[in-house]
Chain A
Amino acid sequence: MTSALSLRGLYKSFGPTSILRDISLDIAAGTRHTIIGPNGAGKSTLFHLITGRLRLDRGEVWLAGENITGLSPHAIFRRGLARSFQVTSLFPRLSVFENLRIAGMRNAGCGHAFWRRLDGFAELAEQVEEMLTLLELGPRRDVAADALAYAEQRALEIGLALVGGAHTILLDEPTAGMSRAETERTVTLLRRLSAGRTLVMIEHDLSVVFDLADTITVLADGGVIASGPPASVRGDARVRAAYLGAAAEVLT
């Protein structure tokens, strides 16, 4: 069986500073995978490398059996990989509805058409309405994205990655800055929407991590120090030493 996402010996440095060294990782299709690690471990950089935002120094990225190394972000998206950003990145002057609709356009077959009404893509509009409901943003449908509250913007940020129906989804700290209740709602949403898809997320909230993840990778100091099912990662001595520390005591 081919992995949904396979990283083979990735290296990245900025000038003389090495950020990531020899990252290899296989993520099985249909699983939920979480990447954790202390700040500065290179997690967001890893996402940028996978999605074409940054260029690799060395190594290969394979998506569903296809080598996507060096492709542009839009080309990678077209092969079925969508992502969200740690720093909210929306279309500020457009409504919530339009934000989501833009995210769904490519996979709804809109192309670059300038001779067809966008409203004529009924299925796309339905998808978007459905997503609005799931994100509990229905009442905010026609509000401009920059007028939303922070938590609403975070929800929309996740929605942009989910709405297009990509088979592999990368979420960069989806619950950052959310309250307890909002986090729980998001976890429920992700559990529901990740069915049949591959979900890779960077997450700091360990309760979310152990609640949601099928497998966990721990990144520290630019390298993978542990990878596997939650139970094995939780028991890993190096992980405890490098990262989990006191938090792990609480969880066990």
Chain B
Amino acid sequence: MSQPATTLAATKSRHARQGGLKIALVFGLAIVVALIAPHLFASGFGLSLLNRMAIAIVFALSFNMLLGQGGMLDFGHAVFFGLGGFATMHLLKWVDGGLPLPVALLPLAGALGGAFVAVPAGWISTRREGTAFAMITLGIAELAVALVVMIPQWFGGEEGVSGDRSGGMPLFGFDFGAASQIYYVLAFWALIAAALMWGVTRTPLGRLANAVRDNPLRVDFLGYDPARIRFLTFILSGFFAGIAGGMQALNDEILTVSNIGSQASGAVLLMTYIGGVGTFSGPIIGAVLITLLQMALGTLTDAWQLYSGLIFVAMVLWAPGGISGIIRSHAPILRGGLGGRLLAAYLALLPAALVTLAGIIGLAELAYRLQAVRGGGKPGHLFGLAVSPTTPWQWLIPLALFLFGAALLSRLAPGARAAWQEAAAFAAGRRGR
């Protein structure tokens, strides 16, 4: 309390230096990972997975700039992503036609396109907050889709607009035609965009966005117009979503209406929320994980969409902080050396959870295969067993598993929750003393 001001200031600046060092380390590590990754996943599938992840990371971070940082749920975020992509694509076509610009710089056009569209959209939507804001963005998204469909001259109608990324000026001898080459362009933009978005959270506007998220009324009485803060944040977010769209344009070399539609907007909400909206790293975790799951499970099962919906609802119900929230709430427990006790409590849940999961998967797969059979397809195998969805008793097994598992889980869950709360309280108490 009565600490002399000089030592106080010195402590603070040492804290700041340590913070800066930590951030430099994290970004250094990210660069190293970005450089090593393509050598670890050098297959065509691996590279296309990495490229998608890079795009998803930027898109999800731009989405969380609104949702997590500013408390704004944008149901039409793909509008800025997609229209930024279209802007990039048109420029790419000019580049193909001889405009002397390096292809690697084109995502910037996406950024400008995204921000440009975000100005009128934000002007309408950011005057409201909360639920009303979310609904207005939904209307704007529908309007954007309708307009894009209406003007095939600009947006290519059903076929979309396509270009050729290798048709431009080579840079240092690379034409970026190969997936392994475009990867470095995408990784570069992902790192730059992530670093910039992290930077924004440390600026006056970034902090004001948090303030407006938490208590817009009070912000108004501290000299700032909350609507103006939302508006500026919205434009910035559109800017970064546009970069992601530009990356998408370069990666896929084609853009269609589906890139601006509700599915794309839903996907970014899904990955951001599952990763966690409460931290900067949450959307990154979500983007990496969901992209991976989508590409891995998407080829294995038709039920991927249903599973992702179920995961999402489960997260909303039981882990609103997402994966990063789970990590954050367990970090002090692990640091406090209480992980062992908690692990035992969690392990006790595991069999019940697995049984429930098996039941859900069984039911979903049977349902999807029933549909396939009706359509004249083959039911195939599940867990190595031949399935026949038209046989009623085959439904009873997963149903029984699900009911039994769920009943068991609901009996065991309070115990695990109590163990967690106890450990968290203990860890907090230990740190506080």
Do A90 and B218 touch across chains, with their CB atoms under 8 A apart?
A: yes
Do B232 and A112 touch across chains, with their CB atoms under 8 A apart?
A: yes
In the assembled complex, the Cα of A77 lies from the Cα of B219 at a distance in Å of: 10
Cβ-based interface call for B211 (8 A): yes
Cβ-based interface call for A177 (8 A): no
The residue on A at minimum CB distance from B209 is: A114
The size bracket of the interface on A is 35 or more
Cβ-based interface call for B222 (8 A): yes
Do A74 and B221 touch across chains, with their CB atoms under 8 A apart?
A: yes
When distances are taken between beta carbons in the complex, the residues of chain A under 8 Å from B204 are 105, 110-114, 116, 118, 121
Cβ-based interface call for A18 (8 A): no
Considering residues A73, A90, A164, which has the most beta carbons from chain B within 10 angstroms of its beta carbon? Answer: A73
The residue on B at minimum CB distance from A113 is: B204
Quick one: given A89-B217, A91-B211, A118-B206, are A103 and B222 in contact (CB under 8 Å)? yes
In the assembled complex, the Cα of A101 lies from the Cα of B208 at a distance in Å of: 10
Do A160 and B12 touch across chains, with their CB atoms under 8 A apart?
A: no
When distances are taken between beta carbons in the complex, the residues of chain A under 8 Å from B210 are 91, 93-94, 98
The contact of A114 among B3, B221, B232, by CB within 8 Å, is B232
When distances are taken between beta carbons in the complex, the residues of chain B under 8 Å from A77 are 221-223
In the assembled complex, the Cα of A115 lies from the Cα of B220 at a distance in Å of: 22
Do B215 and A119 touch across chains, with their CB atoms under 8 A apart?
A: no
For this complex, 25 residue pairs linking A to B, each with C-beta atoms less than 8 Å apart, are: A53-B221, A72-B225, A74-B222, A77-B223, A83-B221, A94-B214, A101-B207, A105-B204, A105-B208, A106-B223, A112-B205, A113-B203, A113-B205, A114-B232, A117-B199, A117-B202, A118-B204, A119-B202, A126-B9, A129-B5, A129-B9, A133-B1, A136-B1, A138-B1, A139-B1
In the assembled complex, the Cα of A72 lies from the Cα of B221 at a distance in Å of: 9
Do B218 and A91 touch across chains, with their CB atoms under 8 A apart?
A: yes
In the assembled complex, the Cα of A112 lies from the Cα of B5 at a distance in Å of: 29
Quick one: given A74-B221, A89-B218, A164-B223, are A102 and B12 in contact (CB under 8 Å)? no
In the assembled complex, the Cα of A129 lies from the Cα of B208 at a distance in Å of: 19
The residue on B at minimum CB distance from A136 is: B1
The residue on A at minimum CB distance from B210 is: A94
When distances are taken between beta carbons in the complex, the residues of chain A under 8 Å from B9 are 126, 129
Residues of A that sit less than 8 Å from B by CB: 51, 53, 72-74, 77-78, 82-83, 85, 89-94, 98, 101-103, 105-107, 110-119, 121, 125-126, 129, 133, 136, 138-139, 160, 164
Q: Other than A77-B221, A105-B207, A118-B204, give 15 A-B pairs with Cβ distance below 8 A.
A: A74-B222, A89-B215, A91-B215, A92-B214, A93-B210, A94-B210, A102-B207, A105-B204, A106-B224, A112-B224, A112-B232, A114-B200, A117-B203, A119-B16, A136-B1
In the assembled complex, the Cα of A113 lies from the Cα of B204 at a distance in Å of: 6
The residue on A at minimum CB distance from B278 is: A93
The contact of A51 among B8, B213, B221, by CB within 8 Å, is B221
In the assembled complex, the Cα of A138 lies from the Cα of B5 at a distance in Å of: 12
A91 CB to nearest B CB, Å: 4
Do A74 and B220 touch across chains, with their CB atoms under 8 A apart?
A: yes
Do A112 and B207 touch across chains, with their CB atoms under 8 A apart?
A: no
Question: Which 9 residue pairs of A and B lie closest in terms of their CB atoms, listed nearest first?
Answer: A106-B223, A110-B204, A114-B205, A77-B223, A91-B214, A73-B220, A114-B203, A102-B211, A89-B218
When distances are taken between beta carbons in the complex, the residues of chain A under 8 Å from B232 are 112, 114
Quick one: given A119-B202, A138-B1, are A98 and B222 in contact (CB under 8 Å)? no
B260 CB to nearest A CB, Å: 26
In the assembled complex, the Cα of A136 lies from the Cα of B229 at a distance in Å of: 31
In the assembled complex, the Cα of A35 lies from the Cα of B157 at a distance in Å of: 67
B137 CB to nearest A CB, Å: 21
Do A115 and B203 touch across chains, with their CB atoms under 8 A apart?
A: yes
When distances are taken between beta carbons in the complex, the residues of chain A under 8 Å from B207 are 98, 101-102, 105, 118
